[in-house]
Amino acid sequence: MEEKIKIYITKETMNILLKDMELFEFYKKDGTLNKNDFINTLIVNYYERYHQSNQQLYDQIKSTLCAKSHCEDYEINDVAYDILQLVEVKANRLESAKYDTLLSLKPTKKSSSVINYIQQCLLQGSTMSNYFRNMFTSYSLLPQDKREQIIFKEVYEQLKEAIALKRKTYFTTTNNATKHITSPYALSNSKEELFNYLLAEYDDKAYSFRISRITKVVILNEESKISNDIKRVLDKMMVYGPQFAITQEQEICVELTKRGMQMFKRVYLHRPKPVRIEQNRYYFECSTNQIFQYFFRYGKHAYVVSPRGMQDEMERNYHMALRMYQRRKHSKDVQ
């Protein structure tokens, strides 16, 4: 099958697909989004799970109809399929949706056999356009970290296998040509359900790697060995946020104003978990990078008490920002 398949989906579904193409870095060499590669990858990695979910629901409906009715088998099959379609529409919140956004799909070498199989065996009276529309809508309703697991299914499954076998892995990353030989420890998602990370010992240190940036995993025939000290750090990273590598274990103290304490309750993204709170002083054992990223936005309402190096870094960055604003403002006034 080489001809393009035209699929009409909602604007909301299209926006999520486009967002994932950017977040998961599906780009052509010219810097534009590689929509076709992303959609074909989605189909290849998601069709089995999508079909199994529908098949389980179909079997449950059919079993209930068999127990409650005296219809013939062919009638039960038809009714069960009709109910499944209605349930899917309700579950995907499509009953009032407008399918006014066109998505063109051109099968590739890696997807053509899967798409042919779907056409020959899975449509069950539906059209290709409707089938893929429902599949893409089902995908778009999943949390972002679950969507990432689908798009990078092969990498995710290989890392799971390596962890279960307690074997070392070899891979490179898309943002760094360095060859990594790691002892994988765990797969963990960020608290905000945004991305998935491999937590591992690499170069005798605790590291985290985003799975969407890992390429070509090879499971080595070498036992994975992780020191207890590294395991303790990796466990902390899973609590605080796997995207923030803890390069040095130390206690960090941040003093908050009344306004700062109110902000801490409301600002959830990347919020570190305090090990204890003493009046307006919050103590953490997370990475300094997480403290910097989270509290920098607080301005005068957060003051790093210790360690001194973190305090100096925060002060230095505020000074740099102040000088930039003063310079830009003065330059604008002169013009």
| Choice among 61-65, 76-80, 136-140, 199-203 with the minimum mean pLDDT | 76-80
- How many other C-beta atoms lie within 10 A of the C-beta of residue 71? 13
Instruction: Convert the pLDDT of each residue in 261-275 to its tens digit.
Output: 999 999 988 888 898
Q: State the angle between helix axes of 73-91 and 35-68 in degrees (0 to 180), rounded to the nearest 10.
A: 130
Which SS3 state, helix, strand or coil, does residue 190 take?
coil
pLDDT more than 90, % of the chain: 54
Residue range 18-35: mean pLDDT, rounded? 94
Q: Which of 303, 299, 313, 289 is nearest to 253 (CA)?
A: 303
Question: What's residue 168's pLDDT?
Answer: 96
Instruction: Convert the pLDDT of each residue in 299-330 to its tens digit.
Output: 999 999 999 988 999 999 999 998 898 888 77
Question: What's residue 285's pLDDT?
Answer: 87
Question: What's residue 74's pLDDT?
Answer: 47
Q: Tell the residue number behind the tokens 């409906």, with chain if given.
A: 61
pTM of the entire predicted model:
0.78
Q: Is the pLDDT of residue 80 over 50?
A: no
Q: What is the rounded distance in angstroms from the CA atom of residue 219 to the CA atom of residue 142?
A: 29
Q: Read off the tokens for 92.
A: 């995907």
Question: What's residue 21's pLDDT?
Answer: 96
Which SS3 state, helix, strand or coil, does residue 239 take?
helix
Question: What is the four-CA torsion angle of 177, 182, 188, 190, rounded to 10 degrees?
Answer: -40
Question: What's residue 91's pLDDT?
Answer: 47
Q: Read off the tokens for 103.
A: 């998505």
Q: What is the rounded distance in angstroms from the CA atom of residue 153 to the CA atom of residue 45?
A: 6
Question: What's residue 163's pLDDT?
Answer: 96
Question: What's residue 194's pLDDT?
Answer: 84
Instruction: Provide the H-helix boundaries in the chain.
Output: 11-23, 35-68, 73-91, 112-117, 128-140, 144-151, 153-165, 228-240, 258-266, 288-295, 308-334
Exposure string of 13-49, with b = 16+ CB inside 10 Å and e = fewer, is: bbebbeebbeebebeeeeeeebbbbbbbbbbbbbbee
Higher-pLDDT residue of 245 and 77 is 245
The DSSP letter of residue 152 is T
> Which CATH number does the domain 150-239 belong to among 1.10.287, 1.20.140, 1.20.1070, 2.30.30?
2.30.30
User: Sign of dihedral through CA atoms 32, 38, 39, 40?
Assistant: positive
Mean pLDDT computed over every residue of the chain: 85
Q: Is the pLDDT of residue 94 over 90?
A: no
Each domain of the chain, given as residue ranges in start order, spans: 5-141, 150-239, 252-334
Higher-pLDDT residue of 201 and 331 is 201
Which secondary structure element, helix H or strand E, spans residue 271, and what is its range?
Answer: none
Q: Read off the tokens for 40.
A: 């074909």
Residue 71's pLDDT band (boundaries 50, 70, 90)?
low
Q: What is the radius of gyration, based on Cα positions, of the chain?
A: 25
Residue range 120-147: mean pLDDT, rounded? 89
Q: What are the phi and psi torsion angles at 241 (to 5°)?
A: 145, 115
Q: Any long-range contacts for 290-296 (C-beta under 8 Å, 24+ apart)?
A: 290/240, 290/241, 290/244, 291/252, 291/254, 292/317, 294/267, 294/270, 295/254
Report CA-CA distances (Å) from 254 to 210, 220, 247, 315.
28, 43, 19, 13
Residue range 216-228: mean pLDDT, rounded? 93
Instruction: Convert the pLDDT of each residue in 163-178 to its tens digit.
Output: 999 999 999 988 777 7
